[in-house]
Structure 1
Amino acid sequence: MKGILAFIFIFGVIVVIHEFGHFYFAKKAGILVREFAIGMGPKIFAHTGKDGTAYTIRILPLGGYVRMAGWGEDKTEIKTGTPASLTLNSDGIVIRINLSGKGFDVNSLPMNVTGFDFEDRLEITGLVLDETKTYKVDHDATIVEEDGTEVRIAPLDVQYQNATIWGRLMTNFAGPMNNFILGVLAFILLMFMQGGVADTSSNQVTVVEGSALAAAGLETGDKILSVNGQVTDSYADISKMIGQAVQDASSAPKFDLLVEQDGTEKNVSVTAKQEDGTYRLGVSPILKTGVLDKIIGGVQQAGVTALMIVTALKNLIASFDVKQLGGPVAIYSVSNQAAQDGWMSIIGLMAMLSINVGIFNLIPIPALDGGKIVMNILEGIRRKPLKPETESYITLAGVAIMVVLMLVVTWNDIMRVFF
């Protein structure tokens, strides 16, 4: 159960923060956000804000999505003959179209729809008491869809395609950008949770309770000046010396240390303890505990993580092997392990995965944000948009690639985790 909850928390936060980036900058660009959903599947709660956005919570707590007017597959479709109820204002203009078959307004007008245009002419046509009638539709009218979700109609002037190139570019980039911001903030939080940032440039060390060093009388804050006669000016030196000694040891290695404790130097002999199949002294870097140190440390850790991910991605492209990829099943597996290790592991995993999602989404595949950004840039260079048909074909090709990749990755995950 802990593993499932950790997976939902990590995956949910990453996706919702990603989608909030699209949501915020879409609104800034003048694009109508018809729905901001937390979760997937059937809705269990809905509220329409003054901004015209339907805020919904859906039953499957896995991520969420933003539904922008004219973006992707966002279309309003009403089949000929569909029964609807129209709510009109005092001027006889339609302000609400209800297709759900329930929740009718008391004074609503029943109609069987035969035609509509909610983008340009803003009108709806249908049979009312066996007579064909056409009504004007208000620019900000709402439509209650068959599943009961009430959203604004999407006239052309508030659609994604009619925003400026800069507005669309920022809308597409904002999702990955928010993932990077979340990753940085999560790493900063992790530094505060662990009490500080490791200082590998100092030979002052942290001593693990119950370790071989603790048994020998060393305490956190002591300095290790040399290991087996070799001077150690930093923790990197200490780690290297210890690592070399235990690497191929067949029995517990013994270390002669020169340490400084409370300003006094003394020689200490320590025999390593065997833990988890290796020999350990129980030493780690001293922590820098200043507030600024923690903030800088979090930012630096985010940068190191991003560089590692980019390097791994570059190596993957240079020598592609699907077995190196991981999907939702793999994320669940590592989330389950993180849940066993506690909140610090969960926050650390979320930070790493958030940066990973941000970088992955910037890959220039049409179905991803990176592909949309490339099309925005091409449109800016050409000074005219791509033909809608061309853009649709490119997007469909990208979706096909992603679907095939996801199926292969999921199968690979299942084989790796369960077999």
Structure 2
Amino acid sequence: MVLPFLLLADAAWAGELAIVNARIHPSPDAQPIAKGTVLVRDGKLVQVGTDVAVPDGAEVIDAEGGSVVAGFWNSHAHILPLPLSEATARSPAELAFALRRMFAHWGFTTVFDIASFPPGNAATLRKRIAAGEVAGPSLLTVDMPFFPADGTPSYVKDLLESMAAPSAEVATASEARERARRQLAEGADGVKLFIGAIVDDGTGVRLMDLEIVRAVVDEAHRAGKPAFAHPTTMEGIELALAGGIDVLAHPTPASGPWSAELARRLVDGDVALTPTLQLFEIEVRKENAPETVVEEVAGIVQQQLRLFHEAGGQVLFGTDIGYIDQADTSREFELMAGAGMDWRAILASLTTTPARRFGQHARKGRIEAGMDADLVVLGSDPADDLRAFSNVRYTVRGGEVIHPAPWHRP
């Protein structure tokens, strides 16, 4: 009976909160503020600078030796594991603990679930978080994904059968359009298409019909929402470009190195990319491949990210947590740096770029008065050492400290 009471103690931090002695990075391209203070009131940033008076009675976080950045976005996650997949039945304590382990511990204040089951579950979790019942990040969701006919990916078949989940396959453009329209009307924040689905029937990759892609994307764009795609192959990328996809959920190591011309076409098509580089190391190691193969695959996806970034592409940070179990973000940052992204570019992928891409730039992604109080207090400065991005002392979402847990705070 202790955990629920302590979780509710988070709400007490949502009044006035001051973060002091901080090296503040207001945005990726802004000059830092040394020994600054961030003042939060009622979930909003009210003052940022070196001459900020801390009100009597405000909760205070001393960031001495550390830095403060805007709250992180995880633009590729899945609300699939227990207990999160049972958002209606599970207690606030259980849900908050899982959300903290997967997200808040690593600085994520906004999470985009880009495919989960059962239908409506992520939306239920979102409502419980928004109501203040569960401490956690702001949650966006595409709800159920769209698979090609006879194209449920082999690696999720057992999971979906264990959930008794309905089929996510679509066989015709009209069927796909109707489901997309329904999911969006019921509150989905976008759509996700497996335009290249890996199946185990000997064919390798099942491609989605272009007319189905266009039907789903058209419905998303009509509602002002983004369309994500899992491409898998070069053919999948061509379908994404032809169908008007907004975000590639992964690069495509199976297709080999990208050309500069392809990177330019993606940028010209206003297609963003979520690299998920660590995912491919994890997947190759699952097959007991030798480390030389792991290194080869990692090198391919880093080359693809490098070309895309150099071409001016919009990179969105994402981990695929929920499909993989690795919550620690440090390896992903290391791989992104190895692909040529400096700390400012990585910070943009975590903050300003997703805020702009998903229509929330007016209130998220930067540290300035009037913005939502989504903040991360880091133990050191990423300008000095990229490992700082994973050294999270505190995560603040809407003025509420969601990491560390109340009983772990100094």
TM-score band w.r.t. shorter chain: under 0.3
- Give the structure with the larger strand fraction: 1
TM-score by length of 1: 0.24
* TM-score, length basis structure 2: 0.24
Larger radius of gyration: 1
Identify the structure with the greater helix proportion.
1
